[in-house]
A and B are shown apart, each in its own frame.
Chain A
Amino acid sequence: MSNTISPNVITRSNDSLRVITSLQVPTVEKDKLSYKRSQRHIRTERMFRNTLVIMGILMVLLVLAILVTLCVQSVPSIKSLGLSYLWGRTWDPVQDIYGAYPFLIGTLITSFLALIISIPFSFAVAIFLGEYYPKGWFANFIKNTVELIAAVPSVIYGFWGLAVMVPAVREIEMQLGYQPLGVGIFSASLILSIMIIPYAASLGRSMVQMVPSNLKEGAYSLGATKWEVIRSVIFPYTKSGLFAGILLSLGRALGETMAVTMVIGNTSLLPKNIFAPGNTMASVIANEFTEADKPVYLSALIELGLVLFLVTVVINVVGKKVISRFTK
């Protein structure tokens, strides 16, 4: 390639370093046009980079600003309740006693239960679309349908859950001998599990598709069956990706509000079993924020947001640690 270009024109083979670093002194002889061109390129390049940096910094600032706001607004509640806020089991707006423990438990149980229910489905979709049917109209159809799950507004899941799923759960509860309420932790987890499937499935699918074909072909040529290839080649190769997908799903489940609040039963009592009603932090905030007419009450709700924020951060950090250990 470089043979065809005149030696005066700066190319990669000529002197790449000088193009990038020498900003003012083009001592080397070049024809005018290409000099101008490269100057313009440098400027665009720098502008683009600056834009990226500014955007990145803005995002970080935004998250920090949210954290600071939450902290500042929680001060009245922290002052009056202290650490008992986290372990207190009573949420009594009348007497200004606030304990977030039932909601913390509710959030964690619903999210993790939803995750456990959703994992088989999302992994199945990921492997099916990634390995068995990566192309064709049928694969596209399934892929789009699964992605559509993520696009449906959560309030619609709530309605569907209330109208269709809750009566079904009530039947199950009757069979099992629990109080047939229908709404409760289990219903909330079910609806959440459906909502979070696409996150793990989409990421998993692209990971499975990225497994180098020579690895798979090698395994096949040694006589491995499809299941063996999936188990010993694809799974080890995609572990970190699949886990990252799970983490993404979990993040979604922790913060989901509308659908959960419609089917969880909204009680501040500690749930006794998974069919009992409960509440999550996000749902409490959404329910009570508008009528929180006392300063400490409002502040306690904001502190709930802070706790939710921190829980999400902790789970993400721990998750990242697990991923890096897993993949080593």
Chain B
Amino acid sequence: MKSIKIFATLAIAATMSLGMYSCNNSATGDKKTTDSTTSDDNTLLGAGATFPYPLYSKMFSEINKINGLKVNYQSIGSGGGILQLTNKTVDFGASDAPMNAKQDSGLSAPVVHVPITAGAVVISYNLPDLKDTLKLTPAIISDIFMGKIKKWNDAKIVAANKGVKLPATEIVVAHRSDGSGTTNIFTTYLSKVSAEWEKEVGKGSSVNWKAGLGSKGNEGVSGLIKQTPGAIGYIELAYAIQNNMSYAKVQNKAGNFITPSIASVTAAANIAIPADTKVSLTNTEAADGYPISGLTWILVYKEQKYNNRSADRATKLLKMIMWMTHEGQQYCSGLNYAPLPAAAVTAGDANLKSVTYDGKPILQ
């Protein structure tokens, strides 16, 4: 018994000293020493899209180096992010798709959208004997993913790839099995370019696939593609570049076959952005833009005074988002995300400046 008591005392003493040590450490480590009441306001909470997560975590760690602000971002998916924002359990939500009318109606107060970066969905395939890059037209993509084109040497594919020898192997379609912003961008694109797709399948973060195999996440889909001869599937550009996957050139609205890249995605985003920034970058008019692109947004409430939030917290939140759309953009290309074109930044700034605290604008 006695030895247990001694041990317990020792343990408590050890924990206390550790705690004090870490307190001291953090106080000296941070540039500004914060007392316990404001230290909570120094941690912002966010939740949402998984697609920009690598970029966001890089940005948040850079912000932390600059002003000691901590951001706890949970990449639970766009739908989850919107739900958490609706329930007011987070300071900001993040989504790959702008909020639709149904989601808007669930909100108790208006929300503003701020675009942060743009990404693309590429069509990757497994044809080991193919030397050239595959070219695909919107009609072919739609027919393949509808399960109508079944063989690689189908006349339509051959017509788009003149002079390329295509094998007679069967096409195996790979798609995401989990709900995903990537699926949303891809199906939004297909619904735009194919009336049949819009009628039969539609757009959403999960849809009723007419053909193929499903797998979880980008890694699952690319695993299927790599493993299955004759497979075709859609994955994020960043993921495809990092994993050396082969991906197709896609014909855009202007009729050009475009290789997906950071530059061609930024080009696709270089269009007139509406004031609410709720715009889809799929199949845009841009002549050298890659047609299956999309913006990703951060969502915040227009009136920041709710749930006893302090003005300090609201200011920090807005300054952080402002930093992300300006200084933060330098981290995009390194991680294979497309930096925002000027028009999108301006539109985002206008939205940020419209955010108020107790009726007064926060940023001047």
A residues lining the B interface (CB < 8 Å): 90-95, 162, 166-167, 170, 179-183, 261-262, 265-269, 277, 279, 283, 287-288, 290-294
Contact = CB atoms under 8 A, between A and B. Distances in A.
Contact of B228 (A90, A181, A287, A288): A181
B103 interface: yes
A293 B103 CA distance: 8
Which label, helix, strand, loop or mixed, suits the secondary structure of the A interface? loop
Given A93-B204, A290-B79, A291-B179, A182 B228 contact: yes
B308 to A, nearest CB: 28
B83 to A, nearest CB: 7
B80 interface: yes
B223 interface: yes
Contacts of A277: 213-214
B207 A179 contact: no
B208 interface: yes
Contacts of A261: 177, 216
B214 A292 contact: no
Contacts of A265: 213-214
Contact of B214 (A90, A94, A266, A291): A266
Given A167-B227, A265-B213, A287 B202 contact: no
B162 interface: no
Given A94-B202, A94-B208, A293-B80, 8 more contacts: A92-B208, A162-B227, A170-B228, A180-B228, A183-B213, A262-B220, A268-B209, A291-B80
A158 to B, nearest CB: 10
Given A287-B178, A288-B179, A267 B227 contact: no
Contacts of B80: 290-291, 293
Contacts of B180: 291
Contacts of A95: 202, 208
A294 B82 CA distance: 11
Given A181-B228, A261-B177, A262-B220, A291 B205 contact: yes
B361 interface: no
7 contacts: A94-B204, A94-B207, A180-B228, A267-B209, A288-B178, A290-B76, A292-B79
Contacts of A91: 208
A297 to B, nearest CB: 8
Which size bracket describes the interface of B in this complex? 35 or more
Contacts of A294: 102
A266 B215 contact: yes
B40 to A, nearest CB: 28
B201 interface: yes
A267 B203 contact: no
B177 A287 contact: yes
Interface string B42-81: 0000000000000000000000000000000000111110
Contacts of B216: 261-262, 266, 287
A166 B224 CA distance: 10
The 9 closest A-B pairs by CB, nearest first: A291-B179, A266-B214, A293-B79, A266-B177, A94-B202, A92-B208, A265-B213, A290-B77, A291-B79
A93 B78 contact: no
Given A93-B208, A94-B203, A290 B213 contact: no
Contact of B213 (A90, A92, A181): A181
A267 B206 contact: no
A294 B76 CA distance: 16
A290 B214 contact: no
A166 B227 contact: yes
A243 to B, nearest CB: 35
Of the listed residues B77, B103, B204, B208, the one surrounded by the most CB atoms of chain A closer than 10 A to its CB is B208
B64 to A, nearest CB: 27
A94 B213 contact: no
Nearest to B97: A293
B78 A291 contact: yes
B170 A179 contact: yes
Contact of B178 (A94, A181, A291): A291
Contacts of A290: 76-77, 79-80, 178-179
B172 interface: yes
B224 A93 contact: no
A180 B78 CA distance: 35
A267 B172 CA distance: 13
Given A183-B213, A265-B214, A287-B214, A292 B179 contact: yes
Interface in B188-234: 201-210, 212-216, 220, 223-224, 227-229
Nearest to A267: B214
B227 A293 contact: no
A162 to B, nearest CB: 6
Nearest to B83: A293
Nearest to B206: A93
Contacts of A170: 228
A94 to B, nearest CB: 4
A270 B260 CA distance: 35
B213 A266 contact: yes
A99 to B, nearest CB: 10
B175 to A, nearest CB: 9
